[in-house]
Structure 1
């Protein structure tokens, strides 16, 4: 059974009143939703709250979910809209937490391992270079406009297809392709001095 079929079965069970089935969907997607929101909202103190709001909204809207798309693309769209709403409210009421002021954000275990572990045969210079690359990519992604950052996150981190991203972001597929191309170019521009590549070359 595919993941989409498994989700569809759980969704049907939720519609019939099975709350445990929704809990299983939350467990399955919570980390991915938090990671997606974390790329949009740099204040880590808000990520868990926005994720929780996403799942509450999804639970309330689930009776109207017709299954025209995969459950996770529908859920991602709710997450994106919930995060956007939170960002708009922050602009109106710009209370910034200490976490955001400190510039602290968690980029997952993978990044931590890259930054904190010396594996056999790696020289300190190589580790420093990889740290610089990670930091450069992160700062390049942070500097992108909201639309470009969403598109590249959904494609490169979440692995969604162009069609799924178009659905999540509610825009034509051509716009998605353009945004991903522009995001990759912006990141490449920052990386070129570190990697010694020329314009037009992939890093």
Structure 2
């Protein structure tokens, strides 16, 4: 493969690579750094690409390895991470005012229900182990096959199937117990709260409209099919969701610090 051919293919897969990094790290700046580092490593090693796998699989293999090496301190989020975010916003006047400023801005505060499903999936996926999270995102968002994920993660076929089975089961259970749009027992009302307050809402598609047929639908697959068509970095709801993502990360970190101090007493 020539360097020119490499650059053409890299540019083709760059959007997917960057959206993967963002879903995994939930940080735009880190995403840019990881994409740049992946390009440098791949460019230097392009002569080693022998076509034993697809270029996409080879590139993601490098990207995933770069991501894991750079985010070794990445911590799993608790199931109630979004609740912690909501509480932290209400408890801090400055944070609340910043959120309201974005939320009421006609451009920055745009909200799309389908994009919020993607946001929610990203948050809940962070409750999984890193291996499960990567496997789930690669399989259910970017449509990699088990064999390809096995190559990317350098794990056995059986291990990857185990990651996928347990990860999907965990997420399905969490969604079942938290999403108030599809279950009366759900505890999270974030979708409806954003929908009711935002004048710029576009509700072309929500889980509410199809929840009545729940018994005949696989809601997990429905969510991932919606997510596949969304680029979280370039979507219309990026600003409001990025704010919530960053605040959730901060709230989770502060909660762990408080919990650790309390446990030492």
What TM-score results when the alignment is normalised by the length of structure 1? 0.66
Coordinate RMSD, CA, aligned: 2.7
CA displacement at 1:138 relative to structure 2: 2.8
Is 1:72 aligned to 2:56, yes or no? yes
CA displacement at 1:132 relative to structure 2: 7.2
For 1:143, what is the secondary structure of its paired residue?
coil
Which structure exhibits the higher relative contact order, with contacts defined as CA atoms closer than 8 Å and separated by 6 or more residues?
Answer: 2
Is 1:116 aligned to 2:111, yes or no? yes
Write the mapping of 1:42-53 to structure 2, written as runs, cut at 5 A.
Answer: 42-53=26-37
Does the aligned pair in 1 maintain the 2:136–2:167 contact within 8 Å? yes
| Distance across 2 between alignment mates of 1:140 and 1:29 | 25
| Distance across 1 between alignment mates of 2:40 and 2:54 | 18
- Residue matched to 1:151: 135
CA displacement at 1:22 relative to structure 2: 2.4
Does the aligned pair in 2 maintain the 1:152–1:180 contact within 8 Å? yes
| Distance across 2 between alignment mates of 1:131 and 1:73 | 26
Higher share of residues assigned helix: 1
Is 1:141 aligned to 2:117, yes or no? no
| Distance across 1 between alignment mates of 2:35 and 2:54 | 19
Q: 1:133 to 1:73 in 2, by over 3 A?
A: closer
For 1:168, what is the secondary structure of its paired residue?
helix
| Distance across 2 between alignment mates of 1:33 and 1:131 | 18
Which of 6, 9, 12 is equivalent to 1:28? 12
What TM-score results when the alignment is normalised by the length of structure 2? 0.51
Q: Deviations over 1:72-112 (max 9, x none)?
A: 11111100011111113x67xxxxxxxxxx9xxxxxxxxxx
Which of 158, 165, 169 is equivalent to 2:153? 169
| Distance across 1 between alignment mates of 2:15 and 2:59 | 13
- Residue matched to 2:222: none
Does the aligned pair in 2 maintain the 1:50–1:82 contact within 8 Å? yes
Q: 1:49 to 1:131 in 2, by over 3 A?
A: closer
| Distance across 1 between alignment mates of 2:130 and 2:9 | 27
Does the aligned pair in 2 maintain the 1:73–1:168 contact within 8 Å? yes
Does the aligned pair in 2 maintain the 1:77–1:167 contact within 8 Å? yes
CA displacement at 1:142 relative to structure 2: 1.7
- The answer for unaligned runs of 5 or more in structure 2 is 75-94, 96-109, 184-210, 220-265
Does the aligned pair in 2 maintain the 1:36–1:153 contact within 8 Å? yes
Q: 1:177 to 1:51 in 2, by over 3 A?
A: same
